[in-house]
A = this chain, B = another copy of it.
Amino acid sequence: MKDIFTWLLLLVPASALSAYLTSEDSLVTFAVATLAVIPLAEWIRRATEHLALRAGPAIGGLLNVSFGNTAELILALFVLAAGKGDVVKAQLTGAIIGNALLGLGLSIVVGSWGREKQTFNRAHAGQLASLLVLSTIGLTLPALFDYSMRGETPSGRLIRDEHLSLAVSVVFISLYKANLVYTLVTHRGVFAYAEDDAHDGERHVPWPIWKAMTVLATATMVTAFEAEMISGALEPAAVQLGLSEFFLGIILLAVIGNAAEYVSAMYFARKNQMGLAVSITVGSTIQISLLVAPVLVIVSALMGTPMNLVFSSPLELVAIGAVVFSISAIAQDGETTWFEGVLLLAIYVLFALAFYFV
């Protein structure tokens, strides 16, 4: 697995070369820079993991959890800085449906190949499903509030959308801290098994701290470099491809920050550790609500280009709701079979179609 992501790093110089040979906002540059984020996200993840191993379980867990979405956040921040708040929100929605439908769907299909069914711990999956339900209600609240108030004059509504989004974000950051205490301190036992399993076959000596730090810093900076190219080339790329920026955000940008994670989830599913695959994909979905979205709202307010949480299309809410339903339905019986994976993928395809028509 390691090899592929090392080779894929060649996409980084390739993107620079393309920017030089064609132009900074050519379709080729956009495509190569986008793909280059995939290995960068993976290397950020690895550096964090090695740092975490050195730092001991408590702080290590904190590091792992906090830097898990770095690539995604950087990309979103550059798109936001380019004044495309709606694309960022599309990216959030896309990450949620990508993780839970595409990532988990692929894992189930890959994992159930040649097996009648795979089982996982119902209690743990149920707890993740509860968290997902509750965090999703909060995430969608500002949008639901906005739609409910559509009858009124838009001016006052927009300010209240702003205030409500900020308030929700503050509550969520607090919840996120509480969740860290929960998973890393009071209920370590429940969540730790995942980490132990994860390193089962591949337990090796952690990198020295200086190496981990260097890789982390370098990969983060290079990601920022690619993110700048992507956000700049987004508009012309959309025009040339005949697609909306919204569609590129919700399908393409949303997936690349998490693609490496999907590969991990598929890897563990194939090894019949379905519980771990569920933890990775659903856990990552929950993080979008509890951490990524609130951070973006707060940072955007500080940047002077405030972004609220009112999704531009009601269909985004429908998609997020569908994810909640699907994950609850899957988690409920503690079993997965290939047809459930196919269904998740089919729903993802249906939403992609719908977003294409929007």
- Chain A residues packing against B (C-beta within 8 Å): 116, 122-123, 126-127, 129-131, 133-135, 137-138, 141, 144-145, 147-149, 160, 163-164, 167-168, 171, 174-175, 178-179, 182, 186-187, 313-315, 318, 322, 324-326, 328-330, 332-333, 335, 337-340, 342-344, 346-347, 349-351, 353-354, 357-358
Tell me the nearest residue of chain B to A137, going by C-beta.
B322
A-B contact pairs, 25 of them (CB 8 A): A122-B333, A123-B333, A126-B333, A127-B333, A130-B329, A130-B330, A130-B340, A131-B343, A134-B325, A137-B325, A137-B326, A137-B347, A138-B346, A144-B315, A144-B318, A145-B358, A148-B318, A148-B358, A163-B357, A164-B353, A168-B350, A175-B346, A179-B339, A182-B337, A186-B338
Q: CB-CB < 8 A to A129: which residues of B?
A: 329, 332
A329 partner residues in chain B, CB cutoff 8 A: 126, 129-130, 133-134, 328
A116-B187, A127-B335 known, 4 other contacts, Cβ within 8 Å: A126-B332, A130-B332, A133-B325, A147-B314
Contacting pair A133 B353 (CB below 8 A): no
Residue of B nearest to A161 (CB): B357
Contacts A342-B178, A343-B175 hold; do A164 and B354 have CB atoms under 8 A apart?
yes
Q: Contacts A133-B329, A330-B130, A353-B167 known; A339 to B182 CB distance under 8 Å?
A: yes
Pairwise interchain contact B175-A342, C-beta atoms closer than 8 A: yes
List of B residues within 8 angstroms of A330 by Cβ: 130
Given contacts A116-B187, A145-B315, contact A338 B182 (CB under 8 A): yes
Report the separation of the CA atoms of residues A338 and B179 in the bound assembly, to the nearest whole angstrom.
Answer: 10
CB atoms of B349 and A171 under 8 A apart: yes
A82 to chain B, nearest CB (A): 26
Known: A137-B322, A148-B313, A330-B130. A335 touches B123 (CB 8 A): yes
The 8 Å CB contact of A149, one of B160, B344, B358, is B358
The 5 closest A-B pairs by CB, nearest first: A126-B333, A130-B329, A148-B314, A182-B339, A134-B343
Interface centre among A116, A145, A147, A351 (most CB of B within 10 A): A145
In the assembled complex, the CB of A127 is this many whole angstroms from the nearest CB of chain B, namely 6
Contacts of A144 in B (CB 8 A): 314-315, 318
Interface contact B350-A171, CB-CB below 8 Å: yes
A141 to B335, CA, bound (A): 26
Bound Cα distance from A339 to B342, whole angstroms = 33
With contact pairs A182-B338, A329-B328 given, residues A350 and B141 touching in the complex (Cβ less than 8 Å): yes
B187–A337 CB distance below 8 A = yes
- A186 / chain B contacts, CB cutoff of 8 Å: 116, 338
Whole-angstrom distance from the CB of A218 to the nearest CB of chain B?
36
Assembled-state Cα–Cα distance A210/B337 (Å): 39
> Which of these, B122, B147, B349, B357, contacts A164 with CB under 8 Å?
B357
Q: How far is the CA of A313 from the CA of B349 in the complex (A)?
A: 26
A350 to B171, CA, bound (A): 8
- Alpha-carbon distance A93/B193, docked complex (angstroms): 41
A261–B145 Cα distance when bound, in Å, is 30
Does the CB pair B141–A354 fall under 8 Å? yes
